[in-house]
Amino acid sequence: MKRITAGIIAALAALLLPAPAWAEGGNAGSPPPGGGLIVIIIYLLPLAFIFYFFVMRPEKKRRQQHQQMIASLGKGDRIITIGGIFGKIIEVRADEGVLVIEVDDKTRLRISLDAVARKVEQS
């Protein structure tokens, strides 16, 4: 996927780089060839679509999946925080946006719901 994206970006860069080649010409009094604003828009629209489909859209899907995972958390679930702490959920305080997790016997931590990296599947 990264190789395809890099190839598309390289191809579009190759199209954009020759555009200022008119500056090397000898006609100082004549306007530069090209369509002006229309040409720039034609070059930028594909870049905008590529950015949306390869960057924004996958990030939005990942964020939605993470929000669904957070909403499904309940007492007894095992989680890993973004700091790498493993714990078992003791209490969910959704109105405060806080979880109370137990990381060891009689060792409890209050963490933000946003600090949950993933849910650990029970084996």
101 C-beta neighbours (distance < 10 Å), count: 22
Q: Is the pLDDT of residue 109 over 60?
A: yes
Domain ranges for the chain = 2-70, 74-120
Q: What is the pLDDT of residues 39-66, one digit of tens each?
A: 888 889 999 999 999 999 999 999 999 9
The span from the CA of 90 to the CA of 99, in Å, is: 8
Q: What pTM was estimated for this model as a whole?
A: 0.61
- Please tell me what DSSP assigns to residue 83: T
* Higher-pLDDT residue of 11, 107: 107
The span from the CA of 81 to the CA of 100, in Å, is: 12
Q: What is the CATH number of domain 74-120?
A: 2.30.30.140
Q: Is 18 helix (H, G, I), strand (E, B) or coil?
A: coil
Q: What is the pLDDT of residues 74-98, one digit of tens each?
A: 999 999 999 999 999 999 998 999 9
Q: Is the pLDDT of residue 28 over 60?
A: no
Is residue 115 a contact partner of residue 81, using CB atoms and an 8 Å limit?
A: yes
